[in-house]
Structure 1
Amino acid sequence: MRLSKVLVVTSLVLSAIVTNAYAEEALKMELQANKIVKNNQGKFTTTAASNAKSGEVVQYRATYTNTINKPISDVAVTLPIPGNMTFNGVANPATAQATTDGKNYADMPLMRKVDGKLVKVPLSEYKALRWNIKWLPANKSADVSLNTVVN
């Protein structure tokens, strides 16, 4: 699937995932996908992700803006991890919860029992991340992001 199609599908899915009906009307979401590259000085910069290739890092960043004149609180927002990408473990804010099934979320790193021992779930099994925006004042914005690697 081409990255541009993934961005459109992801944007449509994200628009429908705000969990509070009141907040759904109050929040405007803007999604950006940027490739993260190291420049000649060794610093990381971002460029448009439309030409990202296998093995490159793409950051999905969603900005949620409260469009009403009242604060909103306790809103869960979710960013799905596109099917042709693998989460690389970098999320901002780091308080994100993750899921492997799209229904059950838990703090990262996700853990499971294997042969009676608790082990980390591979990042390749993560399907989405969720953040709880505790408080968003009127006409202010909050950003969340996750980094992925193109498969």
Structure 2
Amino acid sequence: MKPFYRLRHALIAIVASTVLLNSAYAADALQMELTANKVTKNADGKVSYTSVRNAPAGTVIQYKANYTNTTNQNISDLAVTLPIPANMTFTGEVSPASAQASTDGKNYADMPLMRKVNGKLVKVPLSEYKALRWNIKWLPANKSADVALNTVVN
């Protein structure tokens, strides 16, 4: 029997995600709600999401963060970052597709990440991705924006 990965530990790591706001806004202007859901596709290809706390290796988990602007003012140039939990591998599926990726949690670039190997550009394996970042150009007052990434339990 394969061991189950406790998603609670992964959620704790993700809740520590980075949110960069324009310095004119207070940190409490933005609320974040994070969910972890098992991703299942039926025979017709329809995708369903089920809340999950523990999952065996090979399970696809979607981490979805909902960011809500709790103020009466619009927020511009918002950058939100979600780390990819330890014991998980990024699948390459994100929403919105504009996410940038990082192998070190500091330097971000458009996906797919590339590097030179023997003088040729090759794709960086998804297993080396450590965090994703989305730039939200405009979040209206009292509105929300969602970002999501899919992972597989190792």
Coordinate RMSD, CA, aligned: 1.4
**Matches for 1:58-73 after TM superposition, within 5 Å:** 58-73=61-76
Structure 1 residue aligned with 2:149 = 146
TM-score, normalised by the number of residues in structure 2: 0.91
Instruction: Give unmatched runs, 5+ long, in structure 1.
Output: none
**Matches for 1:2-151 after TM superposition, within 5 Å:** 2-11=6-15, 13-14=16-17, 17-20=18-21, 21=23, 22=25, 24-39=27-42, 42-151=45-154
- Distance in 2, matches of 1:99 and 1:23, equals 27
Identity %: 68
Instruction: Give unmatched runs, 5+ long, in structure 2.
Output: none
- Distance in 1, matches of 2:38 and 2:114, equals 29
TM-score, normalised by the number of residues in structure 1: 0.92
Paired residue secondary structure (1:87): strand
Which of the pair is proportionally richer in helix?
Answer: 1
Which of the pair is proportionally richer in strand?
Answer: 2
Paired residues of 1:64 and 1:143 also in contact (CA < 8 A) = yes
